[in-house]
Amino acid sequence: MAAKPVPVKKKAPEAKEQVATPPVNPRGVALKENDIQQRKVLSTAWRARAEYGWDAGIAISRYLAELKNGRLVARKCNVCRRVMVPPRMFCEWCFRPTDEWVVLENTGRVNTYSICYVAWDATRIETPQIPAVIEIDGASPGMGILHLLGETKPDDVHIGMRVEAVWRPAAERQGAITDILYFKPLGRKA
């Protein structure tokens, strides 16, 4: 009946003892190759056969397939009325699915560009590449794709420049953005 104060007094010192216990060092130890060779740790030799499929999604899959057909396609949202390229199945403005496919023109205008004298591996290149964002005719303003400009000199390139796609021969197309070789100034004969 008067047992209450007793357990309370007992518990308090126990708790203090727990706090005073030295903590276990939780840090790991770096493994050296020797540790594995000397079998200080469990190890196994194994060649991974990681086979996997990759899906570009509905919109980009159709976009790539149409490139093989020599067409640039976009998706239209009937609420904000934007025509979006590269296409997407969901309108991030209206927060709803997009409504229909639209075939775009083969032409466009340079939105922005860069004159690049360095290759992907940081080596210097003599003839510069001219990557550009090209707004495709038939898509909404500001809707562009990144590609290369060709058949033009760096000094002749300007923002707003009219360009057209130069397609790879149909038999060589793979359903990739490289099915377009580059964009050249509009109306220029190859």
Which residues sit at the interface with Zn ion, rule CB under 5 A?
A: 77, 79-80, 91, 93-94
141 token code pair:
């303003």
Residue 52 or residue 95: which is nearer to Zn ion going by CB? 95
What is the closest distance, in whole angstroms, from the C-beta atom of residue 140 to Zn ion in the complex? 10
Select 76 or 109, whichever has its Cβ closest to Zn ion: 76
Residue 86 vs 132, nearer CB to Zn ion: 86
Closest CB to Zn ion among 74 and 91? Answer: 91
What are φ and ψ of residue 58, in 5° steps? -65, -50
Please give the helix or strand (H or E) that residue 147 lies within, else none. strand 144-149
Distance between CA atoms of residues 60 and 82, nearest Å = 17
Q: Give the shortest CB-111-to-Zn ion separation in angstroms.
A: 21
Please report which helix (H) or strand (E) contains residue 83, including its range: strand 83-84
Give yes or no for a contact between 135 and 142, defined as CB atoms under 8 angstroms apart.
yes
Looking at the Cβ atoms of 82 and 147, the one nearer to Zn ion is 82
At residue 135's C-alpha, the angle toward residues 183 and 59, to 5°, is 95
User: Shortest approach of Zn ion to residue 83 CB, angstroms?
Assistant: 10
> Nearest to residue 179, comparing CAs of 65, 103, 58, 62?
65
Report the nearest approach of Zn ion to the CB of residue 122 (Å).
41
